Amino acid sequence: MDALRELYIACSELQEAEDALKESDHRMFEYMRHHITEAEKMVFFDTINSILRVREEYFFKSGFQMAVKLLSGQR
């Protein structure tokens, strides 16, 4: 379990990952600022939040399943 925690910490602290997230956030903000009306922004925001939630759940489930396989010695 400690090895998994160390792997997670190492991956979550990668500067490249942080930079990629900042860049995508900046692009999305710029797109919204120039292409979406005030009335559409809440709909867009709700849609993005829904996508992010589903993505987080997917990656959590995938990571958990991988951890179970690693800890149980399955391939």
- In this prediction, residue 59 has a pLDDT band, given cuts at 50, 70 and 90, of confident
The domain locations on the chain are: 2-72
C-alpha separations of 51 from 16, 48, 55, 59 in Å: 22, 5, 6, 12
| Distance from C-alpha of 65 to C-alpha of 67, rounded to nearest angstrom | 5
Indicate whether 65 pLDDT > 70.
Answer: yes
The answer to whether the beta carbons of residues 44 and 36 sit under 8 Å apart is yes
Provide the angle, in degrees to the nearest 10, between the axes of the packed helices 38-72 and 15-35.
Answer: 160
- Is this prediction's pTM over 0.85? no
